[in-house]
Amino acid sequence: MPDESPTPEITVTLQVNGAQSQVTCDVRTTLLDLLRERLRLTGAKKGCNRGECGACTVHLDGRRVNACLVLAASADGREVTTVEGLATDGELHPVQRAFIEADAFQCGFCTPGQIMSAVCCIREGHTGSNEEIREWMSGNICRCSAYPQIAAAVEAAAAATASDAAPVSASDEAPAGASGRTPASTDGRPPAPTPATVTASATGKRR
Ligand code: FES
Ligand code: FES
């Protein structure tokens, strides 16, 4: 006879983009689903939902993680930053500006994750060369294959924020995307974005 007992729930309290949130959810809820479905923060995207694409990258206590692989329960009491929380006082983060200036996207689906990963890549000090940037951004896949512009944007943002970069210890050096493999490219190229999608992609406002 099937087990019909209710799924256990948990109440999670976390700081999201500087504001405290408390959510009661199924114990199996991922951080990504909590952000998107419960807090309506849809900047982090659900691409593969299994840790392969990096579209869901957010910061957990200042480190990049794939939100689809993190249980909401394990984020209890911790600080989460999503792409919606990067800008300050209406000013885009330097990495957001760099992505716009370098035209570092096409459809924009991967862009919030790329930006969140890039912020940490710079902070970790992995921007010594174009090759190093590509290696440490390799957990973030862009199916539009905008890699040259993405790497250029990270390079430009790193130069602009050089004083913020601080090397981290070896234990901190897991690429966020966590796939650890070179991004695959694709020949499929969607239409060029409109001006509205350009800003929306960098700020995560598209669903
Ligand atoms: S949706 Fe999380 S890694 Fe792809
Ligand atoms: S811009 Fe990266 S997937 Fe389309």
Looking at residue 182, what is its pLDDT?
A: 34
Do 48 and 71 have their domain in common? yes
Number of domains the chain is built from: 2
Do 107 and 62 have their domain in common? no
The letter for the amino acid at 20 is Q
Pocket test for ligand 1, best of 35, 56, 60 (most atoms within 8 A of CB): 56
Do 49 and 105 have their domain in common? no
Looking at residue 153, what is its pLDDT?
A: 98
Looking at residue 5, what is its pLDDT?
A: 80
Do 126 and 169 have their domain in common? yes
What lines the ligand 2 site, CB under 6 Å?
A: 105-111, 142-144, 146
Distance between CA 117 and CA 65 in Å, rounded? Answer: 8
Q: CA-based diameter of the chain, in Å?
A: 63
- Report if residue 2 sits inside a domain: no
Write out the residue range of the structural domain in which residue 65 sits: 9-85
Do 72 and 21 have their domain in common? yes
Mean pLDDT by 10 residues, the chain (207 residues): 81 98 98 98 98 98 98 98 96 98 98 98 97 98 98 97 54 40 33 48 61
Looking at residue 54, what is its pLDDT?
A: 98
Do 130 and 181 have their domain in common? yes
Pocket test for ligand 1, best of 34, 35, 49 (most atoms within 8 A of CB): 49
Pocket test for ligand 2, best of 45, 46, 138, 143 (most atoms within 8 A of CB): 143
Do 199 and 99 have their domain in common? yes
Looking at residue 200, what is its pLDDT?
A: 66
Do 104 and 178 have their domain in common? yes
Distances (CA, A) of 26 to 2, 3, 21, 71, 72: 19, 16, 16, 10, 9
Looking at residue 162, what is its pLDDT?
A: 80
Looking at residue 180, what is its pLDDT?
A: 34
Tokens at residue 71, please?
A: 């249980």
Number of the ligand 1 atom closest to the C-alpha atom of 141: 4
Chain centroid to CA 169: how far? Answer: 21
Number of the ligand 1 atom closest to the C-alpha atom of 49: 1
Number of the ligand 1 atom closest to the C-alpha atom of 67: 2
Domain boundary among 59, 85, 111: 85
